[in-house]
Chain A
Amino acid sequence: GAGVSQSPSNKVTEKGKDVELRCDPISGHTALYWYRQRLGQGLEFLIYFQGNSAPDKSGLPSDRFSAERTGESVSTLTIQRTQQEDSAVYLCASSPGTSALLGEQYFGPGTRLTVT
């Protein structure tokens, strides 16, 4: 079946502009994660959605970052007033209900964001 998909694959934007990144999880997966991978660094957790529960936003680096998810479907990550330090690959992952408790996550190919 289809894996996790993300769009766009690449995004170049000017400093100060807003960007919206999209993630389509695997159908039936209740858990969805966003991570950020800066050049030469590991992945940083940003936000977690599980069903209709309140999301865990503890990893969002500033109030310029926000994310939404409708039910168990598509999620969007929005970055307002982008800064150069926001340049990174943004990865989305999803998990089925039980595996969400065990850390097995399925990753999308990522969106490479470049802020000029």
Chain B
Amino acid sequence: AQSVTQLDSQVPVFEEAPVELRCNYSSSVSVYLFWYVQYPNQGLQLLLKYLSGSTLVKGINGFEAEFNKSQTSFHLRKPSVHISDTAEYFCAVSEGGATNKLIFGTGTLLAVQP
């Protein structure tokens, strides 16, 4: 069965510092990988996705993530964060198929401090 692990429940970081949010998954088949972001009092928004091809994917707001098949990881990075990046970040995996339901991690709260 698929599962997604986000080991860090909260990541505090100062403004303009780099950040990496970790995501590991387990699956016996090829997967599609996603990062969603939930800003305070808002719904989830797609940040970026890996479907195939280049393992480095770029998303909105300067975020990027790298798919590493051997390490079954899909870590999210940003070289310089802003206060407005404060939000909950969810990693998700899908095996595709007829339903294509998403399996989510427990989320990481990115808390950007001035």
The answer to whether A42 touches B46, judged by C-beta atoms less than 8 angstroms apart, is no
Q: Which A residues lie within 8 Å of B51 (CB)?
A: 102
The answer to whether A43 touches B104, judged by C-beta atoms less than 8 angstroms apart, is yes
Q: Which B residues lie within 8 Å of A101 (CB)?
A: 96, 100
**A42 and B107 in contact (CB under 8 A), knowing A100-B100, A102-B32, A102-B100?**
yes
- A18 smallest CB distance to B (angstroms): 25
- A106 smallest CB distance to B (angstroms): 8
Q: Is A103 on the interface with B (CB-CB < 8 A)?
A: yes
Cα of A58 to Cα of B34 in the assembled complex, Å? 22
Q: Which A residues lie within 8 Å of B44 (CB)?
A: 91, 93, 107
Partner of A43, one of B9, B45, B102: B102
Q: Is A33 on the interface with B (CB-CB < 8 A)?
A: yes
Cα of A45 to Cα of B9 in the assembled complex, Å? 21
When A and B form their complex, what is the total count of cross-chain residue pairs whose Cβ atoms lie within 8 Å? Answer: 68
Q: Which A residues lie within 8 Å of B105 (CB)?
A: 42
B: contact size bracket: 20 to 34
**Interface flags, B20-43, vs A, CB<8A=1, else 0:** 000000000000101010000111
- B89 smallest CB distance to A (angstroms): 11
Q: Which B residues lie within 8 Å of A107 (CB)?
A: 36, 43-45
**Interface flags, A51-94, vs B, CB<8A=1, else 0:** 00000101100000000000000000000000000000001010
Q: Which A residues lie within 8 Å of B6 (CB)?
A: 42
Interface centre among A44, A102, A110 (most CB of B within 10 A): A102
Cα of A109 to Cα of B45 in the assembled complex, Å? 10
Q: Which B residues lie within 8 Å of A102 (CB)?
A: 32, 49, 51, 96, 100
Q: Is B101 on the interface with A (CB-CB < 8 A)?
A: yes
Q: Which B residues lie within 8 Å of A43 (CB)?
A: 90, 92, 102, 104
- A6 smallest CB distance to B (angstroms): 9
**A45 and B102 in contact (CB under 8 A), knowing A101-B96, A107-B44?**
yes
Interface residues, chain A, CB within 8 Å of chain B? 3-4, 31, 33, 35, 40-45, 48, 50, 56, 58-59, 91, 93, 100-110
**Across chains A and B, which 3 residue pairs bring their CB atoms closest together, nearest first?**
A42-B104, A107-B44, A103-B94
